[in-house]
Amino acid sequence: MVEKQGCDSMDVTTRVTRVDAQRFYEHRGFSATYMSFTKVLTPRGIR
């Protein structure tokens, strides 16, 4: 479908804990190409 729209690649994201989803995408030709880091910040005034 995306090829018909003129796309040459498609990105998807999944949480590190979603091993089943990662396996799903890998079996369909996707490859892990980058890593992302997240830091949850405490709102000001809340300790």
At position 32, the amino acid (one-letter code) is A
18 three-state secondary structure: coil
Band (pLDDT 50/70/90 cuts) for residue 39 is very high
Residue 43 burial (C-beta neighbours within 10 Å; 0-12, 13-18, 19+): exposed
Band (pLDDT 50/70/90 cuts) for residue 47 is low
pLDDT at 24: 98
pLDDT at 3: 75
Q: Does pTM top 0.85 for this prediction?
A: no
The domain segmentation of the chain, as residue ranges, is: 1-34
